[in-house]
Amino acid sequence: MRDYRQMLVLMAFLMTGLTTAMGDEKLSANLIIIEHGDPLYTYWGHIGIAMENHQSNENLFYDFGNFTFYSEHFYWNFLMGRMIYLGYVIPTENLLSTTQGENRNVTMYRLNLGNEELEELDRILRWWVLPENREYLYDYYHYNCSTVIRDILDTLVQGELRRRSETQPDKTYRHYTRTGSFPSFFSELLLHYLLGPKLDEPISWWDKMFLPQSIADFGSKLIYTGADGVTRQLVGEKTVLMTSDRPPVPDEPRALWLPMLIMGIAAGSIWMLSGRISLSPHCHKVLQTAALVSRIIITVLIGFSGLVLGFLMTFTDHTAAYANINIGPAFPTVLLGLFLLMTPKRRPGNRRREKMLSWLWTINLVGLIAAMLLRATGLSIQDAYAFWAFFAPLNLAASRFGLWIGDRWLAHLLPAGNSEVPT
């Protein structure tokens, strides 16, 4: 079956090349778009240009989305937001052969360019992959494998692509980040948490072309006049080279608020109940240990997520995370609670420890209120509603307010031990 599919792929590609070769063109060019795969960095697809020389029978694939995990300081540069990507060229048949086993949709679109534009495209692509030119500082939204090709095509049509597409508004970077990450709930949740308000600003179709498929979609609507005076449609006929059984990218992202609310209520309830267990001398030590572990897990989860976000906002070049209001309800000072939780139990001091823990969480409750005010007043446009659904019940339950509720409403459910220490 695999050999049969590969034969069909090569036949479709060669037939397209032969059809083009029957004309008077020395060169022809095609966009090749590869849709999402398994690794996270492939979720938003890939794009390149297949350049065919009919005189030399050379067919080369140029793309600008290459990196290696083995490059010097790769992980540190990734953490700091300073990724170096490469322009690269390989025989097109090698690309198709490699991609064939990845279960990904692969589509080819004819680029309708005049001879002069094709020669200029060939020159630009060859320049890009020279060792001294091929490296560039990658940006997820503004300078990636897709935007490089967008900019090259815009040059070929004398800026017409940008002029037309910048006047057509679209959604937001956050929207397409979330819809693209649909194969993984955790990935969508993590990216949604880390992205700041800059990703909620409206974008145009020009901006949207950070996604490979958007170049083909808009290019198929763009009519331009070439250097030879001929009017053409920039992106022409479509040829499906490979198909996969992966579900398509959805039009809308998941509704996260309900599962986040359920998790927030569960975490808040666990925190409040485990506090009563840790104070009660009547509970078995196994239950007390489980209560302690659950509190440690919640503290680490919230504090570490806030610590990571604070680091990205303060010390890195990940501009997409800047001014993120999610730092408020996840302020990393809650990690100080680990020292209190790890302190050996002293019965008269248990009550004081609960008070100190509740004050640490009250900081996060205040941060949540501040984030909500920033959003309500329009000082921030960040979409953070799903995380408010999670943080509100947890921060309320763990704060001084939650301690007060626990003392009055849960006293008969799990009576605490020595609570003579003044509050």
Residues 226 and 165 occupy one common structural domain? yes
Cα–chain center distance at 323? 17
Domain membership flag for residue 314: yes
Residue 350 has a CB neighbour count (10 Å cut-off) of 20
Question: Is residue 247 included in any domain, yes or no?
Answer: no
Bridge-based pairing of strands 169-172 and 58-66 is unpaired
Report the C-alpha gap between 211 and 227 in whole angstroms. 28
Query: Do residue 151 and residue 96 come from a single domain?
Result: yes
Note whether 321 and 231 are same-domain residues: no
Looking at the domain assignment, is residue 123 inside a domain? Answer: yes
21 and 97, same structural domain? Answer: yes
> Is 1 in a helix, a strand, or coil?
coil
Q: Show which of 201, 218, 242 is a domain's final residue.
A: 242
The pLDDT value recorded for residue 419 is 43
| Phi, psi values for residue 340, rounded to 5° | -70, -40
Residue where the block lists tokens 């572990």: 293
- Residue 109 phi/psi, 5-degree rounding, is -125, 130
The tokens for 372 are: 């909500």
| DSSP label of 332 | G
Cβ-based neighbour number of residue 413 at 10 Å:
10
Query: Is the domain of 234 the same as that of 293?
Result: no
Tokens of 233: 């449609």
Q: From residue 392, give the alpha-carbon distance in Å to each of 196, 274, 407.
A: 19, 18, 20
Residues 79 and 211 in one domain: yes
pLDDT on residue 20 = 47
**Cβ 54 vs Cβ 39: under 8 Å:** no
| Residue 423 falls inside a structural domain | no
Q: Shortest CA distance to 17 belongs to which of 117, 123, 108, 94? A: 108
Assess contact for 180 and 43: CB atoms under 8 A.
yes
91 falls within a domain: yes
In angstroms, rounded to a whole number, what is the distance separating the alpha carbons of residues 395 and 106? 47
CA distances from 384 to 241, 246, 355 (A): 40, 29, 29
Burial of 90 per CB tally in 10 Å (0-12, 13-18, 19+): middle
Q: What share of the chain is helix, strand, coil (3-state, %, to 5)?
A: 55, 15, 30
Domain coverage including residue 354: 257-409
Q: Is residue 417 part of a domain?
A: no
Domain final residue pick, 188, 214, 242: 242
State the CB neighbour count (10 A cutoff) for residue 299.
Answer: 22
Question: Which of 181, 215, 242 is a domain's end point?
Answer: 242
57 and 174 inside one domain: yes
Q: Is residue 271 part of a domain?
A: yes
Considering the domain architecture, whether residues 107 and 197 belong to the same structural domain is answered as yes
Q: Which residue has the tokens 């959805």?
A: 250
236 and 281 both lie in a single domain: no
Q: Are residues 205 and 264 in the same domain?
A: no
List own/partner pairs for 306-311 with CB under 8 A and 24 or more apart.
306/330, 306/331, 306/332, 306/334, 307/332, 307/335, 308/194, 309/193, 309/194
Q: What is the mean pLDDT of each run of 10 residues along the chain (423 residues)?
A: 50 51 74 93 94 92 85 83 91 91 93 96 96 93 96 97 96 97 94 97 97 97 94 95 92 95 95 77 78 93 96 95 97 94 64 88 97 97 97 94 69 51 39
Structure tokens, 358: 């509740």
**b (16+ CB within 10 A) / e for 261-291:** beebbebbebbbbbbbbbbbeebeeeebebb
Q: Are residues 163 and 267 in the same domain?
A: no
Same domain, 318 and 357: yes
Single pTM value for the model: 0.87
Q: Are 236 and 107 in contact (CB under 8 A)?
A: no
The C-alpha atoms of residue 171 and residue 182 are separated, in whole angstroms, by 17
> Would you say 270 and 246 are in contact if contact means Cβ atoms under 8 Å apart?
no
Task: Specify the number of domains making up the chain.
Answer: 2
The answer to whether residue 416 is domain-embedded is no
